[in-house]
Amino acid sequence: MKLATIGVIAMWLLSILSLILGIWSKDNIFIGNSISALVITIITTYNLISTIRE
């Protein structure tokens, strides 16, 4: 479970960093990919929290 938590934190950092880079470079495709990565990260975080609560 600790490894999963570290993985989710790393996903958050990477997706936020890629979103910042996409906005900075003004690349629309890159921004779209970053937003979809952020959505996947949110879903993964929700699943992890649900698993921890059970």
Domain assignment of residue 7, given as a range: 2-53
Query: Quick check: 1 pLDDT over 80?
Result: no
Tokens of 36: 């979809």
35 with 19: CB under 8 angstroms? yes
Distance CA 31, CA 4 (A): 26
Does the pTM of the predicted model rise above 0.75? no
Query: Quick check: 54 pLDDT over 80?
Result: no
Number of domains observed in the structure of the chain = 1
Q: What integer pLDDT is reported at residue 34 of this predicted model? A: 83
Per residue in 6-49, pLDDT (tens digit) is 988 998 998 888 888 888 888 788 888 888 888 998 898 898 88
Distance CA 33, CA 23 (A): 12
